[in-house]
Structure 1
Amino acid sequence: MRRKSAVSLLALFLLVTLMLNGCSNHNRTESAATSQMTVEDLLGRQVELTAPVEKVVAIGPGALRLYCYINGDSKLVGIEQMEKDSPTGRAYYLAYPSLAELPVIGPGGPNNAPDPEKLLAVKPDVIFDTYTTDQAAVDALQAKTGIPVVAVSYGKASAFDQDVSKSLQLIGRICGQEQKARDLTAYIEKCRGDLDERTKNIPDSERPTAYVGGLGARGTHGIESTQGKYSLFEAVHAKNVADEAGKSGSFMVDKEKLIAWNPDKIFLDLAGFAMVQEDYRKNPQFYQSLAAVKNGEVYSQMPYNYYTTNIETAIADAYYIGKVLYPEQFKDIEPEKKADELYQTFVGEKLYARMAEDFGGFKKLTLQ
């Protein structure tokens, strides 16, 4: 009997030892899979977190887009109401319909502050944030929630700002998608370099003058809404007549000044095209005094500024602009196919047909 008891005790001892070793090995494996890291965000803040993260939210204009470029809809645990209310024109939302099913974590929008209580309810491991350039506000959100808040940014340019690449690489590092981030930022740089190489050596005498109107700027506007140093024109070295105003960024131009500039080609953002058409019906004489209108040289531009820049659409626009201005240098480019390549690279799905259905696509425009 005592012998049986000894055998039983030995068996029990071995079983407990195996269980402890198993737990120890599991802990070592889990420890090896995660690590504490300190990252510097786009505000220069040092943020400590455990990576790779398992639960993520992205708040503020364009934050969710940057995240989806790197990690799709994986690991997201919440979404802003703004994203659900206005899905049009955002390729990432079309590519990942599951986003609509996520719980709401705040109102969203550029004029609304984050909601700490709703953020806490979904218990994210990290918050990616584009709400503010105010470091104190980001620090305050982190203090209120106890959750690491990482500021990301689009910078100032529409498509090729270095802050975008830095943000994508930062998201990739935190989410364990560093190779995807490297590949995507390299692709963006390749597009930038390609546009530059095709257009930088064209003689000035062979560059038609150009104007872009109908650009959104805190709302929808007509032909008077333009930009100086317009980034998509800059990407293809276009002769932007609006640069003569000596301004950078969005501004409204007098119609008389546009008549004086009289650009060879006009591009109209399709978000503002209905307003241009309405204005044309009221004042056709003004439009018919423009050489580009008389000569049929008015072209579309797909809207890309929905809750900040849809980078893939902006780059697709740049290729179409290049094709219109310099057909010889872009003779190998089919803008629709290039757009699909961009959508596929950024969000994993060819979406040009869907975007063209919503907005009208790349084409000559007729004012009537």
Structure 2
Amino acid sequence: MNGRKIEIPLQIKSAVAHGAGALRMICYLDGTEIIIGIESNEKKRNVPYLYAYPELRNLPIIGTGNNADPELIAKLQPEVIICTFLSSSEANELQKKTGIPVLCLSYGDFNKNENNFCESMRLLGSILDRNKRAEYLINYINNSLNSVEIACEKLASSERVYIGGIAFRGSHGINSTEPSYAPFRYTYAYNVAEELTNNPNFSASQLNNVIIDKEQIIVWNPEKIFIDLSSYTLSEPDLNKNSVLGKLVPAIQNDEVYFLLPHIWHSINYEHILISTFYTAKVLYPDLYPTMDIKTKANEVYEAFLGKAIYDSIFDLYGMGCQKINEK
């Protein structure tokens, strides 16, 4: 998808995935039977697709960490290397060293690059003979988000909300936020961090993550604070009512703190965007989904994306799920 042309077999029987999100996309399409090797970090990575397909952890490695070792890949002899976040020159170099076609996909996001994700899913679906599966998932995503967006647009909350603990190349504390946080946009929430985009020095790359001074949270004075569970241990000290921040932020004093599933871990967990969007809508507009059980809804989303109801596994991993602070 980066302007390169490659030749691959009409029917793919073996492949390896390299790059953040590459293996996740294959799991989304239920195409894991072709995978014959994984990055070594996949063996210890706690992400939904590996809870749905734990057998992948037992495969041979194709490189240390998140790296691809041409010799290890060549030894496995996959028919294609499916990659994300590689430039044309990097892809050409990997293809030259392995002698194996390198297919590059655009991982996209749910900010301004949603079409990139959908196009990649369709391309991958055609290569893996999963066209119907790709269209089903794309339609499920669009229908789910559209239904929430239409419902929330009529209500448009004026409550100031803040998302903290956003992971980006690792975990960060409560002062790591996202000005264009998708679950807030789809629910018409008043994201206090969005004002950062008005700064002339603000760059497009900061839409996904920006680290602010903790004092700014005090200035914004959000009425509700949402915390990404990927960074809970780093955010927890500031959520204490006796902490410097806790004493000065009424939302913390009033227990108006809510936890959301990890948004980014080895790139974007798209299934978690949907789950967090539904939960955010439930919190902001209590009358909108009065009977929604978040565990049931989350498992519906997990089954749509990964074919498995794995909410309990994710809950056990973090010791909590989508819930209010101190909720049992």
User: Do the structures match in fold with TM over 0.5?
Assistant: yes
Task: Give CA-to-partner distance per residue, 1:201-234, whole Å, 9 cap, x none.
Answer: 225xx43110011111222222111111212211
After superposition, where does 1:163-182 map in structure 2 within 5 Å? 163-182=116-135
Instruction: Tell me which residue corresponds to 2:105.
Output: 152
Instruction: Tell me which residue corresponds to 1:101.
Output: 58
8 Å CA contact retained: 1:51, 1:175: no
Instruction: Tell me which residue corresponds to 2:148.
Output: 195
8 Å CA contact retained: 1:158, 1:314: no
- Describe the shift of the 1:160–1:186 C-alpha distance in structure 2 as closer, same or farther (beyond 3 A): farther
Between the aligned residues of both structures, percent identity stands at 35
**Alpha-carbon distance in structure 1 between the residues aligned to 2:260 and 2:251:** 15
Instruction: Tell me which residue corresponds to 2:163.
Output: 212
- Describe the shift of the 1:261–1:193 C-alpha distance in structure 2 as closer, same or farther (beyond 3 A): same
Task: Give CA-to-partner distance per residue, 1:49-104, whole Å, 9 cap, x none.
Answer: 22121111111111011011113421111111010122x1x121111122122111
**Alpha-carbon distance in structure 2 between the residues aligned to 1:150 and 1:68:** 16
Write the letter of the residue equivalent to 1:143: K
Moved beyond 6 Å, runs of 4+:
none
- Describe the shift of the 1:279–1:201 C-alpha distance in structure 2 as closer, same or farther (beyond 3 A): closer
Instruction: Tell me which residue corresponds to 2:322.
Output: 362
Task: Give CA-to-partner distance per residue, 1:260-290, whole Å, 9 cap, x none.
Answer: 2111110011222222222455962421321
2:265 is the counterpart of 1:311: no
**Alpha-carbon distance in structure 2 between the residues aligned to 1:284 and 1:48:** 59
Which of 217, 220, 235 is equivalent to 1:261?
220
Instruction: Tell me which residue corresponds to 1:25.
Output: none
Instruction: Tell me which residue corresponds to 1:225.
Output: 176
CA RMSD of aligned residues (A): 2.1
Greater CA deviation, 60-69 or 286-295? 286-295
SS in 2 for 1:129: strand
Task: Number of aligned residue pairs: give it.
Answer: 318
Instruction: Tell me which residue corresponds to 2:72.
Output: 118
Task: Give CA-to-partner distance per residue, 1:158-188, whole Å, 9 cap, x none.
Answer: 7982222111111110111111111111111
TM-score for both structures, normalised by structure 2: 0.90
After superposition, where does 1:1-368 map in structure 2 within 5 Å? 41=1, 43-86=2-45, 88=46, 90-109=47-66, 112=67, 114-132=68-86, 134-157=87-110, 161-203=114-156, 206-246=157-197, 247=202, 248-280=207-239, 284-359=243-318, 360-366=320-326
Deviation at 1:105, TM superposition (A): 1.1
- Describe the shift of the 1:116–1:298 C-alpha distance in structure 2 as closer, same or farther (beyond 3 A): same
SS in 2 for 1:187: helix
Higher CA-based Rg: 1
**Alpha-carbon distance in structure 2 between the residues aligned to 1:218 and 1:106:** 19
TM-score for both structures, normalised by structure 1: 0.81
- Describe the shift of the 1:158–1:83 C-alpha distance in structure 2 as closer, same or farther (beyond 3 A): farther
**Alpha-carbon distance in structure 2 between the residues aligned to 1:160 and 1:236:** 19
SS in 2 for 1:77: strand
Q: Which runs of 5+ in 1 are unaligned?
A: 1-40
Greater CA deviation, 311-320 or 358-367? 358-367
